[in-house]
Structure 1
Amino acid sequence: MTAAVTATNDRLWQNIRDEAQRAVASDPIFGRSLAEAVLAHDGLAAALADLIGHRLGGTAAEQARFTGFSRDAFRDAPELIEAAGRDLQAIVRSDPAIAGPLAPLLHFKGYVALQAWRVSNWLWHHDQRDAALLFQNEASNVLQVSIHPAASIGSSVYLDHATGIVIGANVGIGDEVTILQNVSIGRGNELPTRSPRIGSGVFIGAGATILGDIRIGDFARIGADTVVIADVPNGCTAVGNPARLTNCPEPASAA
C-alpha cells in the first residue's frame, strides 16, 4: 500500500475505535462485545479476520480456521485491506441511515460476505481452491451471499441488505457498484458460456437477473426485477422483463 492509502486506513481505523469507545462509555454491557470485536485489535486487518472467523465458523475450531486463512490473505496482500476500507467508506457515503463505519463493520452481513469473498479470491489464486470454495459455501449458508472465488470485484462496492445475492464464476464487477438483495449475475445458456461484465458506478436493483456474455456499461442502472440478457450502454437505465432501455444519454438513444 502507498503511504497515502496507509494513512487513510489508519484514520478509518481510528474513527472505528473512537466510535467503539463512545459506545462502550454509553452502554457498558454492549461494550464488552465491542471490546472483543474492535478494541482488542491493533488494526482493521486483525479485526476483520476475527470478524470473518466468528461469522463463518460454527465451532471454535472452525472460527480459528477461517480467521487464520483471513490473516494469511491480509498479510500477503495488503491491497485486500485497502479495498475493505474503501468498501466500508462506500457504505457510509451511500446509506443515509449510517452515521459512521462501526455499525456496517459489525452488523452488515453484505460487508462481511464481500470481505470473505476477497479472502476466497486470494485463496483461489494461490492454489488453495478447496479452502476458497469452503469460504463460498459457508458465506452462502450463513450469510445468504454466494460469490464464486473466480469472480472479479472492484472496490467501494456495497452489497445492500445482501440476502439472496448470487455472483457466478468469472463475473467481472467494477468499482463503486451497489447491488441490492436477491440479485443473480452469471452465465447464460449460449455456447461458449461466458459471464457478464459490470462496469463502474452501476446500481443493480433488488431481484434483478443479469445473464450471459454481456456488458453493463459504466453508471448504468438496472431496475428491480429486471432481466438483462443484452448489453446496457453507459449511463442507461434498464427496466422490465426482458429489459428495455430508458433514460439513455443522447448518443446511446440516437443509436
Structure 2
Amino acid sequence: MSFDRKIKIAPSILAADFANFGAECQAIEAQGADWVHVDVMDGHFVPNITFGPATCAAIRPHVQGVMDVHLMIAPVDPYVEAFANAGADVITAHVEAGPHIHRTLQAIRGAGAKAGVALNPGTPAGAVAELMDMVDLICVMTVNPGFGGQKFIDMTAKIRALRGMIGDRPIHIEIDGGVDPSTAPLVVQAGADVLVAGSAVFKGGSVSHPDAYGSNIRAIREAAEGVWT
C-alpha cells in the first residue's frame, strides 16, 4: 500500500446489500472505488451494531484493493489482531475510545496494518498532536458515528489544522460522514484526500445494476478534483 495524495473514494459497505457483500465489494471496485471502507460498530461506543472480524475475513477475498477497517468500538486493543488477521490493510481506532491510544496505534502497526486514528466532531485536532509520527491516516468524522445517511457537519477548520500539523509526513486525511458531490470539494480544499461515502455511492444501484455506483463515484471524484483545476 504505497502513499500518495491522489483523491481516493472509499465506499462504505454500511450502505451496501448486507446479504451480498462479496458481490457488492467486487461491483464497487469494478466501478472505480479505490478503497473499501468497513464500519465496525459495537452497540457500546456507538449506538449501532454492524460487523466483526469474521465478516472482514469473508469479504477479504472479494476485495482486490485496500480494505479500510474503521473500528467504532471500545475497548479496541483486544480486537486489533483479529481484524489484522482478517485482512485489514488499514485499521482506524477512535482517540475517544480508550485511555491509551498510543498503545493502540503501536498494536495496530505491530499487527502489520496501517494505523489510523479517528476524531469525533466534538474532538479538537490537538487531540492527535502527539501522535503524528505514529499514524498513517487521520479520520475526521463529519457526522456523529453510529449510523449512515446523516447530515454533513462542517469540519473544514479542523481539517485545515490537521493538514498544517501533518506537514510533509505521509499521512492521509480521511473524511467520514455526509460526503457527496456538494461536500467533497469543501473537505478536499481543506486538505483531505480519502473520501468515505456510503449512501452517496450506493443510491440508485445494485449488484445487478452497478452502473449507478460508477456514476456516483465519478460524480464525487470529479467534484473533489475540481478544486485543483
TM over 0.5: no
- TM-score (normalizing by structure 2): 0.30
Name which structure has the greater RCO, CA cutoff 8 Å, separation 6+.
2
The structure with the largest helix share of the pair is: 1
TM-score, normalised with respect to structure 1: 0.27
**Larger gyration radius, structure 1 or structure 2:** 1
